[in-house]
Amino acid sequence: MSASAPPENLQLGELLQKRLRLTIPQATWKVRCALKKGILMILCEHQEGAGINTTAAFTSLRQALAVQLGSKVQEVRLFLRVAQQDIPYAQDFYTHKPISEPFKDTETRKYAAKNPDILAHQSLHAWEQVELSEEAQYPSNPVFESEPTTLEEEVEAFEPLGVGENKAAKSSQIKPLLIGGGLFAAIASVMGGYMLTRPCVIGGCEALDNAQQIYTQATKQLRSTTEIAQIGAIQQKLQTANQDLTAIPAWSLRHSQAQETQTQLTTESEKITQVLTALQKADQAQKAPTNNAPQTWIAKQTLWRQAIAPLEAIPPNSEFYQLAKAKLPSFRANLTFTNQKLQAEQEISRKITVALAVAATATNQEKQAKTLADWEKTTANWQVVISTLGGIPRTSSAYSEAQKLFTTYQPKFTEARERTTKEKIAFAAYNRALDIAKTAQRYEQQNQIPQGVASWSQALTAAGQVPKNTIYYSQAQSLLPNYTNALQKAEAKLKVINILQLARTDLNRACNNGMRICTFTLNEQGIM
């Protein structure tokens, strides 16, 4: 019989293949069909990486089949598969409901009414071509090549598609055809065996029941557990149960429930991870080495804060609330202690920094000191340095450093202190010499020569007492010649005065020997 049939009788596989190419042009399609016991199975293959929209593909196939299929097809099973893959990645099963008029255009309906036998035979011939042409397109696919030995016994008579029920068609004895028989048997064997052996497809669902039980037990246990090891064991059970649920296929009636349970398990596991992280941070903080260095306390402070923050965020209705309530007081106390230690070490570090800065200032002052006040400031600064470094406690991490600095700066402080003392002596002696010299001058002005001599002598002694290597030494030395000269002059005057006084005494005795016999005037120029 000629294969040039009306459009309705073209090979179904080629028709669907063309339809898919129009709907999803980026893919190269190959379509196979098989019919058994009223079930039409259609396998659609495409190359890898085509980016298929499965919804669009199934919708396009359904629309095409709604027009092409007759009442003999009761159920349709659509499969999408990547070429060279054994298992389809998507499927769509539905019950076929034939439309009231199996043929779309008027011309075809008239043709079918006049030539029912021819049309039936042409449709049958088209399906024969499906098997021959499609098998030729897939020579190396193991799924399509396999044929069970009892294939002819299992496959019933293949019924033509697209032909309405009529007496002529029923009366015609159409021989059983094995159109797509190998394909159907392979798909039925592989897909049926695979799908039915997946978990929770037939019978109960042990994985789901076990997961739900584990979840319930876990939430109860977590309300009373505070140990890291126990919490970790509970999380491991949750993760194992969650992994078991991933094996439940999408076609299982329990798949939706399994997904909900997986969400619960995942959420609970994430909560546990947060709590475990907090407890682990606390454990790290407790075990961290303590050498009192600021950076050590900073690290501890960070760990305690990381341990406290997640626990503080746990609401009262959480299964972890009791754990948080039990752990937070000690965690906060440890954080407070850590903060205090850190502040103490930071204060000590600040003091050492200040001591170093003051020491640098004192060193510069030593080089530039020109007055007693300068040396007094220098000594005071060194005193601050020594007092600060000497006050660092032995328990501090900075104690060793402070002691080294103390040993270095102690001699400098001693030297500055001694120099200041020496400068004070020099200052006092110099100023005393000046003051006594002024007094001597006043005595001379008052013609109190003996007192003047004594004062000049004292001034000269004071000037000579200014220590060497002091700021006032050179100034005091410059006073000595003047003071010596003034003393000598005063002593000379005093000598004259003493001679005149002696002469006056002798003259008075001579002139007044019982009675005054003479008078005289005595001065430095002579006796008159």
Among residues 247, 249, 238, the alpha carbon closest in space to that of 210 is found at 238
Among residues 264, 237, 263, 259, the alpha carbon closest in space to that of 248 is found at 259
Question: What's residue 524's pLDDT?
Answer: 60
State the average pLDDT over residues 293-314: 93
Residue 225 burial (CB count, 10 A) = 18
Band of residue 472 on the pLDDT scale cut at 50, 70, 90: very high
State the average pLDDT over residues 123-152: 36
Distances (CA, A) of 345 to 64, 302, 308, 471: 82, 16, 23, 43
Question: What's residue 153's pLDDT?
Answer: 34
Band of residue 140 on the pLDDT scale cut at 50, 70, 90: very low
More confident residue, 408 or 226: 408
Question: What's residue 152's pLDDT?
Answer: 33
Question: What's residue 475's pLDDT?
Answer: 93
More confident residue, 324 or 157: 324
Band of residue 313 on the pLDDT scale cut at 50, 70, 90: very high
Residue 167 amino acid letter: K
Q: Give percent above pLDDT 90 in the chain.
A: 49
Among residues 202, 203, 151, 149, the alpha carbon closest in space to that of 177 is found at 151
Domain boundaries, the chain: 7-197, 206-342
Q: Is the pLDDT of residue 339 over 90?
A: yes
Question: What's residue 72's pLDDT?
Answer: 76
Helix pair angle (321-368, 372-390), 10° resolution = 150
State the average pLDDT over residues 7-28: 80
Band of residue 281 on the pLDDT scale cut at 50, 70, 90: very high
Question: What's residue 42's pLDDT?
Answer: 92
Band of residue 253 on the pLDDT scale cut at 50, 70, 90: confident
Token pair, residue 433, equals 């010499």
Token pair, residue 163, equals 């032909």
Band of residue 338 on the pLDDT scale cut at 50, 70, 90: very high
For the ranges 216-225, 331-340, 394-403, the maximum mean pLDDT occurs at 331-340
Band of residue 247 on the pLDDT scale cut at 50, 70, 90: confident
Token pair, residue 457, equals 């002598």
Could you tell me if 437 and 386 are in contact, meaning their C-beta atoms sit under 8 angstroms apart?
A: no
Question: What's residue 163's pLDDT?
Answer: 34
Burial group, residue 376, by CB count within 10 angstroms (0-12, 13-18, 19+) = middle
Among residues 82, 95, 118, the alpha carbon closest in space to that of 38 is found at 95
Band of residue 466 on the pLDDT scale cut at 50, 70, 90: very high
- Ranges 111-115, 391-395, 505-509: which has the least confidence: 111-115
Arithmetic mean of pLDDT over the chain: 79
Question: What's residue 101's pLDDT?
Answer: 43
Torsion angle of C-alpha atoms 224, 226, 229, 230, degrees rounded to 10: 0
Q: Is the pLDDT of residue 508 over 80?
A: no
Q: Is the pLDDT of residue 491 over 50?
A: yes
Contact partners, residue 264, CB within 8 Å, separation at least 6: 215
Write down the number of H helices and E strands in the chain: 17, 6
Token pair, residue 241, equals 């149960």
Among residues 260, 278, 148, 149, the alpha carbon closest in space to that of 215 is found at 260
Contact partners, residue 442, CB within 8 Å, separation at least 6: none
Per-residue pLDDT tens digits for 434-454: 999 999 999 999 989 899 999
Question: What's residue 50's pLDDT?
Answer: 87
State the average pLDDT over residues 383-394: 94
Per-residue pLDDT tens digits for 169-218: 333 333 333 444 455 544 544 454 445 455 576 667 888 899 999 999 99
For the ranges 162-166, 471-475, 513-517, the maximum mean pLDDT occurs at 471-475
Q: Is the pLDDT of residue 510 over 70?
A: no
Q: Is the pLDDT of residue 135 over 60?
A: no
Question: What's residue 81's pLDDT?
Answer: 94
Give me the DSSP letters along 49-96.
Answer: T----HHHHHHHHHHHHHHH--TT--EEEEEEEETT-SS-SEEEEEE-
CA separation for the pair 167, 192 (Å, rounded): 36
Question: What's residue 139's pLDDT?
Answer: 37
Band of residue 367 on the pLDDT scale cut at 50, 70, 90: very high
- Ranges 48-57, 317-326, 501-510: which has the least confidence: 501-510
Q: Is the pLDDT of residue 155 over 60?
A: no
Question: What's residue 523's pLDDT?
Answer: 61
Could you tell me if 91 and 192 are in contact, meaning their C-beta atoms sit under 8 angstroms apart?
A: no
Question: What's residue 293's pLDDT?
Answer: 84
Question: What's residue 199's pLDDT?
Answer: 58
**What is the enclosing helix (H) or strand (E) of 527?**
strand 526-527
